Structure 1
């Protein structure tokens, strides 16, 4: 059997086709599929192969644009310039596209995933969130190189590219950590809360003493972020989960509440409930005569939720995995379920556990098109159909997109 040649490092002129899930577009060369980053559909580019697994596809980066698509623009960040090659920052996939084109690309991906994985012909429109395409990100994670410089990693690499600023992150957040030296190998979490307090946490990956576990230390700020959504204050651990786009919590809560439409006295579940953002609104809907079960695996998040919703006695809190809680046969069956699973999606066990209780409505919040489409397909097997879907560009300049789906029992 003839061994296939390794194309890594080879430069190929290709015509770029449709956008694919993952921040790249699809090209073909000598019968192989090439996933090319930093391109737009319809372009002709010179692409350098960066990874060749040896099968029917390989990965590549555009190094020269020979025929540009109409939506192409100069990246707002110098570290996204294709001329940098392997020294490009890997945090943004779509800085070379204008905001409208970015939303079109994301809509195309979500539409295709629903068609391919769920068998649905559901054209999607991705909506812009308030605030524009820059300075929207309130939280970021950085790595530290061997010289003590904070920065971001290139795509599919462990190297660190030092940075002075990041144009998608709120003003001042990155410059605060870029101006000083850190312990080599450390990881930094930066958060700017609704009160404009900056929180910087450092996790030293190389402890000073043998067998000492890495310990997070608060460098700047209290470590507790103060947020406000729809008139309610939420206190959140600065390292914990909170939507990173400054406008996302308000917008997403409005959509989730509208889709849930829980009636007074109803039973609602909020799965993967975080610090109680959606549970607070569900509690308002069901009122004192109803009940809300909030499930969250992070004990710290549950503690925060208890404090955030202490004026809502109709909310019951469970600290544990959703799978484990759903195994409890004594749970009161819900009228409506809201779930906001991690990027991988809910999966079969959770979907079947929800469907077995026969809620009339399920509101699914998703940050990955493929995971959402897989879950929608699983719900379809259990007798639920997609009734409404709203998608948002909650991560401008990246390939990520947020979608909120309403599923109704047939």
Structure 2
């Protein structure tokens, strides 16, 4: 899958005993809830599979090795081109699912898992931990192209293929964030092998019946205890949530444990409705401070204050990368898929006085730099969480011409917000939840006729659906970039820039 050939595993040895898989934890703004399924009785049925292309959701499409035209099985923990022995985990009239439990013919892109507990029968949230990081990005590139073609339709796929950044392949490269790129380029084998670990500043756990914290099984309500948190930043690992007796006395079965490591100040731990310090002492502190380097936009360091349980991008590099990409795309003289840095003042010289609408605006990650750069312009933001809107008001204090509205983003609320602005917005920025904005909201947005739309999507299927509606409503795709903000999982972020025809 990748242009590089990672080290082949020492042997395709059979993995350990099967255990239920776990919940992904805090994989981003749109969390995955566990789904209870009937427990399987007796030994799992096994099948030898020839593994094909990746599918959206962290599976690969496979068929019986002795029957290339046989029933499709969606298999996890495998790689394209492999032959695996798989244990069936779900089998009904609509879909067959399986976990690869023995690798008979390994791919050159297979590596020793950076999180073995997320392997077959383990916890969720690390379904690509056995895949070399460059190959993970190729996997996601294939999935993005497939969703745009299959769900968005031929017109959407053709619009993407025509972009300069799609190149001769006609597909968008999924780019690493700064820390992964640096680790891979370091020349140090250990750093490269562990790239993508130690990046998450938010982690969610559940206390199991035995009082030990863990994560849920894949499509299961069973909590499996953990012995380490390899995707968490060092500040969270050092708290000792998994093994320290000082935490165990606070745990109760079923309790939610949320660890938050902000960029400013010490971590906090949320235990249901209680907040504790990193030393397990009760505290009245319920807010955290975050800093975002926006020097590439000419704004220096931005400061944000938000509730500890409020949403914030979880990869340590994500806020600065998204702020630079999205704001440049929204206010730059030309839409751009370029990275951070550059002459921000020159690139955004035409931003003053612009009318901007932002949907799903959260605590103001994009709202703050947008408001600072449109001095003399107008900004209207809509967010469904009253707590997030309160945080945004604090973060935007003193900035004029900003109207923050609390309420669901619907076709009606978008139309009303547009009418309140008097004139059509010059640009609309939207960062919807995992299911996307939807046909009605996108239709209302297109009805406002902004010159530019910047759509941030964390799900390629939802992106494809929303793009198709925009392309049917007099918009053309001007730029697209994809970011690997969730290494070792199947998730990634995409930014699409559209302009009115």
Matched, 1:374 2:465: yes
Residue aligning to 1:185: 254
SS at match of 1:62: strand
Query: Is structure 2 residue 419 aligned with structure 1 residue 330?
Result: yes
CA contact (8 A) 2:115 2:126 kept: no
Whole-Å Cα distance in 2 between the matches of residues 140 and 80 of structure 1? 15
Following superposition of structure 1 onto structure 2, how do residues 11-410 of structure 1 map, counting pairs within 5 Å? 11-29=46-64, 31-55=70-94, 57-82=95-120, 86=121, 88-118=122-152, 119=154, 120-121=157-158, 122=160, 123-132=171-180, 133-174=196-237, 175-178=239-242, 179=244, 180-181=247-248, 182-203=251-272, 216-220=273-277, 222-229=285-292, 230=294, 231-261=301-331, 263-287=351-375, 289-323=376-410, 324-328=412-416, 330-332=419-421, 333-410=424-501
CA displacement, residues 346-367 of structure 1 (integer Å, 9 cap, x when unaligned): 0011101111110010000111
Q: How many residues align?
A: 387
Deviation sequence 1:76-123 (CA, Å, 0-9, x none):
1231344xxx2x111111001011000100111011111112221430
Aligned counterpart, 2:9: none
Is the contact between residue 45 and residue 65 of structure 1 (CA under 8 Å) also seen in structure 2?
Answer: yes
Deviation at 1:8, TM superposition (A): 9.0
The Cα of 1:327 is off from its aligned counterpart by: 4.1
d(CA) in 2 for partners of 1:161 and 1:336?
46
Deviations 1:185-213 (A, max 9, x none): 1111111000142111112xxxxxxxxxx
Structure 1 CA distance for aligned equivalents of residues 43 and 406 of structure 2: 47
TM-score, normalised to structure 1's length? 0.91
SS at match of 1:311: coil
Aligned-pair CA distance for 1:223: 2.4
Per the normalisation by structure 2, the TM-score is 0.75
List runs of 5+ in structure 1 lacking aligned partners. 1-5, 204-215
Structure 2: runs of 5+ lacking an equivalent:
1-40, 161-170, 181-195, 278-282, 295-300, 333-350
Partner of 2:4: none
Higher percent of residues as strand: 1
RMSD of equivalent CA atoms: 1.7
Q: Aligned in 2, Cα 1:176/1:325: closer, same or farther, shift over 3 Å?
A: farther
CA shift, 1:172, in A, is: 4.1
Q: Is the 8 A contact 1:192 1:199 kept in 2?
A: yes
Summarize deviations over 1:224-250 as a string: whole Å, max 9, x none.
121011211001111111100000010
Q: Which has the higher contact order (CA 8 A, sep 6+)?
A: 2
TM-superposition CA deviations, 1:132-181 (whole Å, max 9, x none): 21101000111111121111112111111112321111114155322232
- Partners of 2:151 and 2:260 lie apart in 1 by 36
* CA drift at 1:7: 12
> 1:248–1:394: 8 Å Cα contact kept in structure 2?
yes
Tell me, in whole angstroms, the C-alpha distance in 2 between the residues paired with 1:89 and 1:312.
45
